[in-house]
Structure 1
């Protein structure tokens, strides 16, 4: 899934604050705050996690999972390139 560090980094790359992410994901601000304050992999209701991940991805961020092909390996986040015109 997603780690708290990935979540914070993804939000920063997208240029959005916690309140905006909460609104876009349809969850409460305290939920986002708890998720980002956790250590390691974010735990919670799967539906809530999926909403947050979808909101981050809709903001142009790609989440790189452990084991996924990545130039440097390991978990991370990166901005997606906009589609070619």
Structure 2
């Protein structure tokens, strides 16, 4: 599953620093992933997802096999 981190962060108004703190993933890892410079390990994606979902981000399937995001809590 591909996780759209930057749009997910934007939905909840989080900076990379805030997501790093919530997910325990290094900010440089998040920045490099968002810039397309690296592909995170599955464990990293799980950690990011686990931080974003309680904040109100829902991952939604899209045609073509990707994943989208939407806000489920205001």
Q: What's the TM-score, normalizing by structure 1?
A: 0.72
Q: What's the TM-score, normalizing by structure 2?
A: 0.81
1:38 corresponds in structure 2 to: 36
Superposition misfits of 4+ residues, deviation over 3 angstroms: none
1:80 corresponds in structure 2 to: 72
The offset of 1:65, in angstroms, is 2.5
1:23 corresponds in structure 2 to: 21
Structure showing greater radius of gyration is: 1
Q: Please, which runs of 5 or more residues in structure 2 have no aligned partner?
A: none
Q: Please, which runs of 5 or more residues in structure 1 have no aligned partner?
A: 68-73
2:8 corresponds in structure 1 to: 10
Flag the structure with more relative contact order, 1 or 2, with Cα contacts below 8 A and sequence separation at least 6. Answer: 2
The offset of 1:50, in angstroms, is 0.4
Task: From the two aligned structures, give the one with the greater strand fraction.
Answer: 2
Native 8 Å contact 1:2 1:65 kept in 2: no
